[in-house]
């Protein structure tokens, strides 16, 4: 089988995208894992299918690099929005369905994509961490110097703690800087540090104002680029009107036979 694919990246978080509106592709876990492999396949943090859905511009189906269907991916949502416009779906405003529900997205004049994330009604505060679900579950740990952390080893250790099983959790190490936040993330499913994670950036921004209420706009610098998170926090654990904004660019397109 020959696939026509597109490769996109959002702040270094990269994805293989397939136009599956005609239900052309039915991929196995092993095939998805192969396509995402950086040595033998195309190489990506995940794979997305753009499909049709009644009442929406499109449906986003997301798989981690290990081949398993995953929870929501924020940078993936922004990239698939840019891809939708490329193939003639909508112009600047989009409304789509993903595994965690409906999303709105806007493509700005400078090409950046703003994605509305889900509301949050529960935040867990631990002795050294904040845990919340921003479409995917995240563990947020604030540190003085994230450059000194072995993100792979420490992230893997936390991700596999018994309390987070059987599905595990994404792990974020965050530092407060004058410009906002810096972040490094270990992603489950990729099982390594990624250059950016949209739901992780969102979680970090919300966790950074844990004792405050009001409207916030937080700049977050990931290893692969800069993102912006805006939201309204009405009380200690309730967050509304959450938007993730950043770049979403096509890298290349091509064909591959599997």
Say how many C-beta atoms besides its own lie within 10 A of residue 224's C-beta. 19
pLDDT per residue over 214-240, tens digit each?
Answer: 999 999 999 999 999 999 999 999 999
Tell me the pLDDT tens digit for each residue of 12-48.
Answer: 999 999 999 999 999 999 999 999 999 999 999 999 9
Residue pLDDT, tens place only, 155-179: 999 999 999 999 999 999 999 999 9
The DSSP symbol for 258 reads -
Taking 90 as the threshold, does the pLDDT of residue 202 lie above it?
yes
Known catalytic residues are: 73, 197
For residue 124, give the H/E element and its range. strand 123-125
Are 137 and 169 a contacting pair, CB within 8 Å?
yes
pTM above 0.85, yes or no: yes
- The domains of the chain, with CATH numbers, are 2-107+248-257 (3.10.310.10), 123-246 (3.10.310.10)
At residue 247, the pLDDT reads: 97
* For the chain, percent of residues with pLDDT exceeding 70: 100
> Which pLDDT band holds residue 210 (cuts at 50, 70, 90)?
confident
By DSSP bridging, strand 123-125 and strand 130-133 are antiparallel
Question: How many CB atoms sit inside 10 A of residue 241's CB?
Answer: 13
Residue 140 pLDDT exceeds 90: yes
Whether 127 shows a pLDDT value over 90: the answer reads no
């Amino acid at each position: 089988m020959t696939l026509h694919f597109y490769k996109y990246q959002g702040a270094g978080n990269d994805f293989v995208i397939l136009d599956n509106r005609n239900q052309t592709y039915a991929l196995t876990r092993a095939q998805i894992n192969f396509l995402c492999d950086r040595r033998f396949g195309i190489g990506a943090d995940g794979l997305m299918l753009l499909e049709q859905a009644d009442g929406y511009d499109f449906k986003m189906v997301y798989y981690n690099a290990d081949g398993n269907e995953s929870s929501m991916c924020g940078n993936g949502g922004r990239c698939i929005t840019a891809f939708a416009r490329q193939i003639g779906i909508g112009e600047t405003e989009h409304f789509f369905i993903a595994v965690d529900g409906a999303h709105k997205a806007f493509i700005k004049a400078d090409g950046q994509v703003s994605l509305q994330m889900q509301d949050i009604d529960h935040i867990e505060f631990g002795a050294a961490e904040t845990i919340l679900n921003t479409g995917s579950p995240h563990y947020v740990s604030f540190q003085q110097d994230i450059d000194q952390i072995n993100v792979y080893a420490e992230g893997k250790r936390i991700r596999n703690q018994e309390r987070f099983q059987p599905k595990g959790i994404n792990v974020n190490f965050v530092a407060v800087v004058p410009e906002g936040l810096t972040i490094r993330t270990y992603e489950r499913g990729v099982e390594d540090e990624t250059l950016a994670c949209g739901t992780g950036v969102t979680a970090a921004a919300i966790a950074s104002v844990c004792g405050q209420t009001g409207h916030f706009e937080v700049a977050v610098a990931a290893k692969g680029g800069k993102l912006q998170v805006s939201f309204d926090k009405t009380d200690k654990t309730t967050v509304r009107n959450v938007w993730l904004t950043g770049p979403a660019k096509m890298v290349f397109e091509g064909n591959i036979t599997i």
